[in-house]
Amino acid sequence: MSKPDQTAEAPTLSSRDRANLRWFWRRYLRRRAPWLILVLGMILVQGVVYQQFLAITETGLRVIFEHGTLRELAVICLAVFGLFVLRGAMGWLVPRIAATVSNGAIHQMRGDLIGHVLRLDLAYFDRTRSGEILQRIVMQTQTLGHFIGLASVNALRDAATVVIVSAYLIWMNPLLFGAAVLVLPVIVWVMNHVSARVRTLQGETDRALGGYMSAIEETVGAMRTVKIAGQEEVEAARLEKDTAKLRDLSLNLQRAQALVMPSIDLSSAVVYVLVIGGGGYMVLSPSFDMDGAAIITFLLGLVLVFDPARLLAQYLGQFQAHMVVLDRLRALMDTRPAITDAPDAVSAFDTGGDIVFDNVRFDYNADQPLFDELSVRFEGGKVSAIVGPTGAGKTTVLSLLSRLYDVQGGEITIGGTPIRNLRIPALRAAFAVVAQDIVIFDNSIRENIRYVRPDASEAEIRQAAENAEIAELIRERGDTPVGPRGAQLSAGQRQRIAIARAFLTDAPILLLDEATSALDQGTEARIRSALQRLTKGRTTIVVAHRLASVADADCIHVLKAGRLVEQGRHGDLVACDGVYARLLRAQGADGR
């Protein structure tokens, strides 16, 4: 995400970076400000310790070279030792406090991100690979928290040391110091060059890493298909290509950063030569007030400055990379869900009323229109069926109803109230759903059923399980988890868990999307009689391919390519000999 204006001026901050940093400060650091101030104070102490060390050393050297006593020398040694004990104590405390601050910030950031991501529209998850989300929540927060917490505190300490010791050196001998900083422009140039490159590379590495994690997730999740298709090697090769790309990118990244150290080393060599030469000359020449002790102290000061300066430069080299990460996280936090409660949304509505689609327009992608002015009425308290060829839009009708997606035109009403005017939790609580793609968690069957109503009693869960013909399996398996995505269950068992959930939800509107498609006819017949008890008096919409299972519906709506082509009772539809009758014939005389 490198922009021309940023590459040109790196490592200075673009206005966007500044806004991002302000945002981060307000959100994650401001409340931790007292700790940060404490850390800052201790950092200053560390800088002052070095300056005092230099001052005492200079005195000590004069004691040795000129007129001192052993007693004076001992005092000086003690003072130096004391100073370093002080710096050591600070050096022990500062990272501890900084770690508390940064881990607190990481924790808060992860909580925020997960909470935020879970509230995003389903459409976001349709287009975003899960590896990307994983990477942001798990890795980028860690990187950023560490950088802003620990690394920045260290950098501040280094900066304090550099500034304080440099100030002391300037006070000692401005001319010599001037000579020493002659190399600064070289360092700045190198830093600019490196920063720009690091920023670009970091963006690419980030994207590649997200892609890689998504690819692994996808492959692992599709193991059955991979194995049956014999694609293990193809998948391995695909992943290998991704890691190779990652390797190249991070190699380039580290290579770019590697330029920092040697350029600083070389510059420091130049500085030492300048100072030894120039300082030596000043000592030898009578026109300068400089003695041996002063020049040794000066050199020592430069040595003390160089290491922090080097670390500081390294920190600045990484700074741009972290600004990229910060920008990514902020962008995610700024992604707003489109499907939200209207300001004047209400919770109460007639859940038993008719469900009406009025001239509904909807498409998943602009270039692929699905519903164009779809109008259909599902009668309250009755059983309606939606049938039609695959891809006709049957599942989409149910998704629109629970506002997993919003219509782009027209209106959906329940009992006369537009669903747009309803509070989303109230709307969704009105549905018991058996979805076409059933989601089972790696938990016991009982807990999987309980998922839709955490407060349900054991007896209620048992009853739901009996109705869905899954009680026997619960008795067999007990509380054993059912594997990731319910991998240890058969398709029919998973479907029965979903049906048990619908029984347990006990909501006024029932949406069944191919709810019994994976069951044998005997089990289906038993569940259907239980379902019939459940549907009594409730508005029910059933989607089914097997037409026999909807023959007794109060009204059957036939969808084809997003259009309502026929509707009526089974007998009427057979009589008019249209799409429904053809589908029925294709399934054999009894519709199976």
CB of 216 to ligand ATP, least distance (A): 23
Which helix or strand (DSSP H or E) is residue 103 part of?
A: helix 70-119
CB of 515 to ligand ATP, least distance (A): 12
CB of 387 to Mg ion, least distance (A): 11
Q: Can you give the binding site for ligand ATP, defined by CB under 6 A?
A: 126, 364, 370, 390-396, 436
- Nearer Cβ to ligand ATP, position 201 or 412? 412
Residue 395 sits in the site that holds Mg ion (CB under 5 A): yes
Residue 250 sits in the site that holds Mg ion (CB under 5 A): no
The option from ligand ATP, Mg ion, none interacting with 288 (CB < 5 to 8 A, set by class) reads none
**Cα(26)–Cα(18) distance, rounded to whole angstroms?**
12
- Helices (DSSP H) in 365-484: which residue ranges? 394-401, 424-429, 445-450, 458-467, 471-477
CB of 12 to ligand ATP, least distance (A): 43
Q: Is the dihedral of CA 244, 247, 253, 254 positive or negative?
A: negative
Instruction: Choose the stretch contacting Mg ion; rule: CB under 5 A; options: 224-232, 260-268, 434-442, 568-576.
Output: 434-442
How crowded is residue 334: how many other Cβ atoms within 10 Å of its Cβ?
9
419 CB contacts (<8 Å, ≥6 apart)?
Answer: 401, 403, 412, 413, 427
CB of 123 to ligand ATP, least distance (A): 7
- Tell me which of 436, 443, 488, 587 binds Mg ion, using CB under 5 A: 436
Q: DSSP label at 337?
A: P
The option from ligand ATP, Mg ion, none interacting with 390 (CB < 5 to 8 A, set by class) reads ligand ATP
Instruction: Of 282, 291, 280, give the one whose Cα is nearest residue 62.
Output: 291
Residue 517 sits in the site that holds Mg ion (CB under 5 A): no
Here the tokens at position 261 are: 């150290």
- Residue 542 near residue 550, CB atoms below 8 Å: yes
Ramachandran angles phi, psi of 413, nearest 5°: -125, 150
Q: What is the CA radius of gyration of the chain?
A: 36
- Nearer Cβ to Mg ion, position 464 or 515? 515
The option from ligand ATP, Mg ion, none interacting with 391 (CB < 5 to 8 A, set by class) reads ligand ATP
Instruction: Choose the stretch contacting Mg ion; rule: CB under 5 A; options: 224-232, 392-400, 457-465, 486-494.
Output: 392-400
Q: Is the dihedral of CA 226, 231, 232, 234 positive or negative?
A: negative
CB of 566 to ligand ATP, least distance (A): 15
| Binding string, residues 186-225; x marks residues near Mg ion by CB under 5 A | ----------------------------------------
Residue with the two structure tokens 């009406």: 356
- Nearer Cβ to Mg ion, position 436 or 444? 436
The option from ligand ATP, Mg ion, none interacting with 370 (CB < 5 to 8 A, set by class) reads ligand ATP
- Nearer Cβ to ligand ATP, position 308 or 393? 393
The option from Mg ion, ligand ATP, none interacting with 364 (CB < 5 to 8 A, set by class) reads ligand ATP
CB of 451 to ligand ATP, least distance (A): 22
The option from ligand ATP, Mg ion, none interacting with 260 (CB < 5 to 8 A, set by class) reads none
CB of 491 to Mg ion, least distance (A): 15
Query: How far is the CA of 449 from the CAs of 76, 134, 497, in angstroms?
Result: 76, 27, 6
State the DSSP string of 206-275.
HHHHHHHHHHHHHHHHTHHHHHHTT-HHHHHHHHHHHHHHHHHHHHHHHHHHHTHHHHHHHHHHHHHHHH
Q: How does strand 417-418 pair with strand 409-414? A: antiparallel
- Nearer Cβ to ligand ATP, position 29 or 544? 544
Chain residues in the site for Mg ion (CB under 5 A): 395, 436
